Chains A and B, each alone.
Chain A
Amino acid sequence: MAAEQSLQATTPSGDTRIHNIGYRSYDGPRLGRSYARMSLYSQSLRGAYGLGRSAKSKVLPMLLFVVMCVPAAIMVAVAVATKAKELPLDYTRYAIVMQAVISLYVASQAPQSVSRDLRFKTVPLYFSRPIETADYVRAKYAALASALFVLTAAPLLVLYVGALLAKLDFTDQTKGFAQGLVSVALLSLLFAGIGLVIASVTPRRGFGIAAVIAVLTISYGAVSTLQAIADVQGSGDAGILIGLFSPITLIDGVQSAYLGASSAFPGGVGPDRTEGLLFVLVTLGLIAGSHALLMRRYKKVGL
């Protein structure tokens, strides 16, 4: 460092011709593939909140994070102030109510995570290093799912801490919080997978954002409309199964069948345990399918 400074001091600034300061070879450790995968994971996770990127890229993810947490903080404040016996909203319902914010987050961050590498052709540089397609896909998938988990679990933590401060029943609250965490973990994996698959086939970031929003909102809009119609016509079971066709209603179905959640389906009637199994299978199938599609996509990118 000292050598560099003294040398630069003697050369007119901007002169790029003086490079010969002596090359030092590297004899230190080379940590290989798993370390590289881990580095890509942490860089992508940080990037999902704009860390290590320009100030401008921090605005949206941070803003969405705040928007996600503020209602929880208000609920807690109200619960404490009014000495309520329970929280105004279940842990498992929170993400369902806030789905628009979550969708917006996926739509903005999935493309920034993968479309940039495709668009600027950085992917070949990764694959010219020890990591393989699977490492790249897993690191990116895990990073976005983790970022989503942070986004969806943070307000639950606010609720939980607030509930304990308001001296609500510890066992009840802990159980509800745990169920909520399982639910948002599943939601994070599902939304990350769908978002990344769409982003990986839309190198133009703007299209990626639009496509993710379209898929998430149109599927939800269509499903809830059809469910409402089915409900009016009295064919409740058909209405329930329609819920298999949009990501957020899938999560709703899984948690009302297995995680003690009250359903947002019409009439508050969600799938029973047998129908719930179908919801679980479809959810897991979509997660596995997203992973498989991403692998296929990146096998082709190669160099």
Chain B
Amino acid sequence: MDVTVIATESLSKRFPRVTALDRLSVDVGPGVTGLVGANGAGKSTLIKILLGLSPATEGRAEVLGLDVATEGAAIRERVGYMPEHDCLPPDVSATEFVVHMARMSGLPATAARERTADTLRHVGLYEERYRPIGGYSTGMKQRVKLAQALVHDPQLVFLDEPTNGLDPVGRDEMLGLIRRIHTDFGISVLVTSHLLGELERTCDHVVVVDGGKLLRSSSTRDFTQTTTTLAIEVTDTDEHPDGTRAVREALHARGVTVQDGSGLPGAGHILLLTAQGEDTFDLVRDVIADLGLGLVRMEQRRHQIAEVFTNDTDAQRKEAVGHGG
């Protein structure tokens, strides 16, 4: 990671009754970063601290090299923020609203109008931008919220649950837009969601928080690689009338847990196991060769992060924390 966009060090936020963030240390580089966690995991709290609007109870954080505790105003000049809740007045048009917000970010009047026209076009709002926002669909409102976060051409944007309330098509469009914020506009993104799956395609890096603690922080590539599932199907022989079972037992003997592929086509003949890299491939190949079975197929199933996350047992989660960061 060449440059650090966001860095937190043992960052904690305690409210009278809950600990929203618990000694969170994480570094985020340029690109699109997903911040994933269940409801109440502390995602919005983290964003508020990073905007310099809510003091941390302990620890420190930097955004674009600026200290959140002392340089909040400078940070807010360089970043954009899209809140998770509704924030749009219904009785003004998208154009009027975004122009006003651009001026609130310090853009002169003419620049504010030009940038508003550009930005609304980039987020996909055309003729409707002159109509009052009250009549917009949820998808259009989300675009206006996004536009006001981008209109002053920030270096970094915080998007708090931008896909909230969108249908699958709207969700895909929003995710595509988020990807383009980085690739086409050159703006780094921190985007939150409670769905791990949807961030897999969009993000370069995913940070998972749970109960205010860091669960995992890794690039999406690592994330899916380490959790690749292998699907194996073998032939039966006279010596091993149930080849599938023989492989399962042999792998068990070497300490590899195998699940049957129930729910998949050809269930009963398919074995699923978690690959831990090249070694697993070699092991499986050797075991099957030793048994003298034929390998019908050995497939990598690139799992959605969501499945991995929901399949995680508590023990695995703890382990993940150890490996994360």
Contact residues of A with B, CB < 8 Å? Answer: 1, 4, 8, 13-14, 16-17, 19-26, 28-33, 35-36, 39-40, 43, 52-54, 57, 116-117, 120-122, 124-132, 302-303
Contacts and interface: CB of A to CB of B under 8 A. Distances in A.
B90 A120 contact: yes
Given A25-B186, A29-B108, A303 B100 contact: no
A22 B124 CA distance: 13
Contacts of A53: 91-92
Contact of A19 (B48, B104, B111, B121): B121
B77 A125 contact: no
B103 A19 contact: no
B137 to A, nearest CB: 11
B145 to A, nearest CB: 9
A29 B77 CA distance: 12
Contacts of B148: 125
B293 interface: no
A43 B77 contact: no
Given A19-B180, A43-B100, A125-B148, A30 B86 contact: no
Contact of B86 (A16, A43, A120): A120
A125 B87 contact: yes
A32 B106 CA distance: 5
Contact of B83 (A17, A31, A54, A121): A121
Given A28-B108, A32-B106, A53-B92, A125 B101 contact: yes
Interface of B: 48, 51, 53-54, 73, 76-77, 80-81, 83, 85-92, 96, 100-101, 103-108, 111, 115, 117-118, 121-127, 132, 148, 152-153, 173, 177, 180, 184-186
Given A30-B152, A125-B101, A17 B124 contact: yes
Nearest to B125: A16
Contacts of B54: 302-303
Contacts of B91: 53-54, 57, 116
Nearest to B83: A124
Contact of A26 (B104, B115, B180): B115
Contacts of A35: 103, 106
A24 B150 CA distance: 12
Contacts of A26: 107, 111, 115, 152-153
Given A17-B124, A126-B104, A24 B118 contact: yes
Contacts of B100: 39, 43
Contact of A52 (B73, B76, B87, B96): B96
A182 B100 CA distance: 33
Nearest to A119: B89
Contact of A303 (B51, B103, B105, B123): B51
Nearest to A39: B103
Nearest to A122: B87
Given A30-B152, A122-B87, A130-B77, 11 more contacts: A16-B125, A19-B124, A19-B177, A26-B153, A28-B111, A35-B103, A128-B76, A128-B80, A302-B54, A303-B54, A303-B83
A127 B83 CA distance: 12
B81 A23 contact: no
A9 B32 CA distance: 33
Given A39-B103, A125-B81, A130 B92 contact: no
30 contacts: A1-B117, A8-B126, A16-B124, A16-B126, A19-B123, A19-B124, A19-B177, A23-B118, A30-B152, A31-B106, A32-B77, A35-B103, A36-B104, A39-B100, A54-B91, A54-B132, A57-B91, A117-B89, A120-B87, A120-B90, A122-B87, A124-B83, A128-B51, A128-B53, A128-B80, A129-B76, A129-B104, A129-B105, A129-B106, A303-B48
Most buried by B among A13, A20, A22, A26: A26
A120 B85 CA distance: 10
Contact of A13 (B115, B118, B127): B127
Contact of B89 (A23, A52, A116, A302): A116
Contacts of B126: 8, 13-14, 16
Nearest to A31: B106
Nearest to A57: B91
A31 B107 contact: yes
A303 B125 contact: no
Nearest to A21: B121
B106 A130 contact: yes
B101 to A, nearest CB: 6
A-B pairs with the 3 shortest C-beta distances?
A: A26-B153, A128-B81, A16-B124
Most buried by A among B121, B173, B186: B121
A23 B53 contact: no
A68 B117 CA distance: 40
A20 B124 contact: no
B87 A127 contact: no
A39 B184 contact: no
B249 to A, nearest CB: 53
A282 B81 CA distance: 42
Contacts of B87: 120-122, 124-125
Contacts of A120: 86-90
Contacts of B85: 121
B124 A25 contact: no
Contacts of A19: 121-124, 177, 180
Most buried by A among B73, B115, B127: B73
Contacts of A129: 76-77, 101, 104-106
B175 to A, nearest CB: 13
Most buried by A among B80, B103, B115, B152: B103
B81 to A, nearest CB: 4
